[in-house]
Structure 1
Amino acid sequence: MLNNLIEANNCILCKKPRCQNNCPIDTPIPEIIKLYKENKIEEAGKILFENNPLSVICSIVCPHENQCSGNCIKGLKGEPVSFNKIEYEISRKYLESVSTKKIKSNGIKVAIVGSGPAGITVALELCRRGYDVTIFEKNEKIGGILTYGIPDFRLPKSNIELLEKYLKAVGVSIKINSMIGPVVTLNKLFEDGYKAIFIGTGVWNPKRLNIKGETFGHVHYAIDYLRTPNSYDLGDNVIVIGAGNVAMDAARSAKYYGSKNVSIYYRRDVCDMTATKHEISEAQDEGVHFETFKSPVEVVDGGIIFEDTKKIENLDGSSSLVPVEDSKKFYPCDTVLIAISQVPRNTIVINNKGLDVKQGGLLITNEFGQTTRDGVFACGDVTNGARTVIEAVVDSKKVCDSMDKYLQQFLGN
């Protein structure tokens, strides 16, 4: 693409690249840009893919403002180099054109429970090392949050389809509509010959507001809505409660599917929002309205009651949020979408002894991704709570090393 070549030519190929140093997975950005300028797309794609199997995804959904572009030296006096656009072009072309063949298996079976960012990364990494990998996905499509949590207009699903095609080509088996826990247990997997199990099931249970009226018919949880947004009739006036990327995605989806007036309500200020600046800006550009310092009190027929909040300075220099007296007010709307984070589903834990959890239902693991049950590993959102895709990839690569070391005992037996 001409625009991407212009971006590449703007890069000064720093000897001490701040962009690379602030990339969580240490993408060799100057090297990739140099190869791109030399039209060595396949070579660049191979480097990107081997370093980060989800490069094509991260090039879209990573918080680039805090990583590569946000630390570009060019950005100090002008516009930073948009490496993510170059990365996407290279990664996409690589997956579309790379010649793949089935990797020879060493006969050691490994089960991957969940096919989100962590599951896909572990499956690819272990398959590369010769293990016989099977993914168990409870839905009809792989991808987890990539498929069922990020709108298609932000992350085209064709990218996940390319990854699925690659997974199958190299020999990874994928069982869709296969939930592990209530019927097929971890014990059953071990009995059938799997020598290790990786759990990467994400966080899919929405957190409640715990206010009166939350179960009313015009109230939905954003993470549920994002699974099939075209199935919902939200009406013209929608209020989204939350401040993260899920809230932004829900608000933007509501606008995309026809709601005329969509507002995000948050108990703090815009600068306190956990969503990326890019996501906030995109939502504002698409007509989403922001109401800050509003805390939900009660859902009622035809809308919701909020009260105003304000920040106060404490003696120690910190700040606290307190309600404003006599500020409760009714706000009419057709639909309320709640987006205040998620926690893991406990299906696997309840039905499988030996897996310990910490507060919030997150799986307990050590620094190597080992759970409290021998042979069972985990990482990603199911152990850390909702985080970024790139963080899941980084953690997954570390866990792969740990699983590989554990599985060595079965080789030659």
Structure 2
Amino acid sequence: MNDSLRAEPEPSASSSPVTGGDKGVSVVERQWQSVINLGPAETPLHTQQLRLTVAAFNVLADGLDVNGQWSYIDPATVTFERRKDLLLQEIDRIAPDVLGLAECNNFTEFWAPELARRGYHGVFQPKSHGPAARFGAQPDGVALFVRTAAGLELIGEPLRNAMRPVAISALVRAGLTAESTINKSSTPAMTSSPAFLFRVAMTHFKAGKGDSNTALRRQDTQMLLTQLDAAAAAAESEVQATIVMGDFNCEPTEDCHAPWRERGFLCAVEDMPWTTWKFRDTPTEPGTAPPPGTAPLTQPKEKREKIDYIYVLNGPGAQVAVEAFLDVPADADIPRALPAPNYASDHLAVAARLNCFTAPLA
């Protein structure tokens, strides 16, 4: 999709200011961008509407933050203790109905209770070899939360995968009545039936450049699709939509996206130009040992890429349209890449507002 399909930006996502964090810093301003013609229009056969806000956020694991080899950043300024309030600010201003976290640790001590206070229930899957554990922190993994305060609930046991690709997926049910709405400011009228049933998966693919890592991400994609197919075959009821989101660690041109498109998945954040932006110190002469008693020579290396995504697939009797996505902040508002004093991760949260249409109520 190109810029000609964008509508004028909506009011800032931080139009209701949230403050706090390190010395009262507020999270950087971002705009919701309305989307035109990305998904079906309402038709007589699809008149019942459910509005959902979904988000995926790589929150930069405790332990990986101070050991990130950042250029221009004092590690003492990016500890989890100093970042956690800003992370919550980003979630609060999005107010997602469904939230996925990558590089999540401190789940029991921090994320579960903090999000429970905000009306969420969540499940967590650590990686089998979470890299944060190398630095004495808890193993990181992926988490999935639904906003029970807005009438959503997890159904049955989630499917978990601790190996590649680390993932957690679950069935989610939302009560549905004519013109029911779930969003950050309202709770839908709930009935025992009908309901909108959808499956959500949160994942984190293998990182790294080169052909071998590209091949591993393609394998990650195929394995996750196989798991979703098996879950669908075993389910008692057909889902009306499937949402897959997370840190895919691959740019839009990489072929790990092809299987999603071939299956009919729609990218809800198609127009986001980037999702991670960082400078890291890298050796000027890789593979060369420095003289004894001296530090290796390094230089800043910039990485500004789009590697986080939300994919949506229609199920039988339903259609999903993307209403808006949360755009990137202005470059002038980020002092020098991420993490920044006003943004607490090296990844932006990706978020989309979805309109879900189903067959009319009997």
Q: Taking structure 1 as the reference length, what is the TM-score of the superposition?
A: 0.25
Larger strand proportion, structure 1 or 2?
Answer: 2
Task: Provide the TM-score with structure 2 as the length reference.
Answer: 0.28
Q: Which has the higher contact order (CA 8 A, sep 6+)?
A: 2
Pick the structure with more helix per residue.
1
Instruction: Determine which structure has more spread, i.e. the larger CA radius of gyration.
Output: 1
